Structure 1
Amino acid sequence: MKVDTVTSYQYSSQRTGPKNSIESSNDSASFASILNTKVAQSASTDSSKSKDSNQGDFTSMTRQEMFDWMNDQIQTGKMSLDESSPFLGMTMKISVATGQPVDMATDTTRTNYVEKARSGIEWANNHDPDLAKRLQNAIDIMYRNQGREFGINVRA
């Protein structure tokens, strides 16, 4: 007996995709749309704030402060989108109880992002070397923007 696994669909609405895919999920937004929404919210609040875009205390920031700093760095051309990916990842927070993102505008928890990145590097060294490099680059960027020197001794 031969089973024909090829199915042709007359209409694209007849296709079924993975249950958890972003495309098929009506109640969850795509990563890009969440990012665009947060960038727009951040841009509207930035005009009312006066801040030094080069400085930040990365050892004690809220997720909103980190996101606003990152967004400013991108908008002023001081950081590429690729360089921002570890920072964006560090600003994400999902509620264990609901499985939904926690609104960063109402989350006042202060986080040490340098330590958070270091912890991420420890895990990534064994599981994702590329992520470890991106997190180390994020730490280097944080140190530069806090005016700290890198902990590297160069001998002639």
Structure 2
Amino acid sequence: MDAFMEELAGDEMRRIKCLPKPARWADFSAKRKLDWKHIEFNKANHPVVPEEPGFYCFVVGLPGTSLPPIGYPLYVGKTERTLKKRFGEYLREENSARGRIRIKKFLKVFKGELLFFYTDFQGTSAEVKEIETELHDALMPPYSDVGFSAEVREPRGAFQ
């Protein structure tokens, strides 16, 4: 019975509330032409992350399967330092006794199943903030708790 309960608890930890809005995805893609790349989130891939500022998104999914592409965005962020530094901070946070609970949860629950999508971007602080808000509103990542427009924040809060 203990194994059953542990498996059930593990499955409950993996539960994600989602609210897909393909029209928002299409609107963002039409407005912003960002060149996204992705790697598996693990220490071995840290050296390939660019030393440029930009945006990133953690997606639970597995590349290279015999299924159509499957993935769900969990968390969206920006860095005005470098993507490489930010990637390294997440690697450290994953194993730290301190840190943000929400972040540590998805890093641990989906360990080995996370993709790190990134795109370099250099712009003014206002441009970066605008795009970050648009990304949050388009993807509605469940582990992001800030960065949404007022239009999306209120209904999303009721959904979460």
TM above 0.5 = no
The higher-RCO structure (CA 8 Å, 6+ apart) is 2
Q: Which has the larger radius of gyration?
A: 1
Greater strand content: 2
